[in-house]
A = this chain, B = another copy of it.
Amino acid sequence: MCEANAYLIEENKENSLIMEAVDRVIPEEEGIRLVSIFGDQKFLKGYIHSLSLVDHKIFIKTERE
């Protein structure tokens, strides 16, 4: 399988794991919806900052620079 773990990047903090085994990231009006391969969903007021797929990592930020 080719899912990835989603991490939140915050200034002056360590990256924190938001959701494991993310399949889809879908943009919505005020943010993004993460959907895991198990069907779990999580909505976040943020955007996809960067990807490192071979490491199975999606990085999310909540504030625009």
Question: Which of A's residues lie within 8 Å of B, judged by CB?
Answer: 1-4, 22-27, 37, 47-54, 56, 58
Contacts and interface: CB of A to CB of B under 8 A. Distances in A.
- Count this chain's copies in the assembly: 2
Contacts of A23: 52-54
A51 B2 CA distance: 12
B37 A51 contact: no
A53 B27 contact: no
A52 B25 CA distance: 7
Nearest to A1: B54
A27 B43 CA distance: 22
Contacts of A37: 54
B50 A2 contact: no
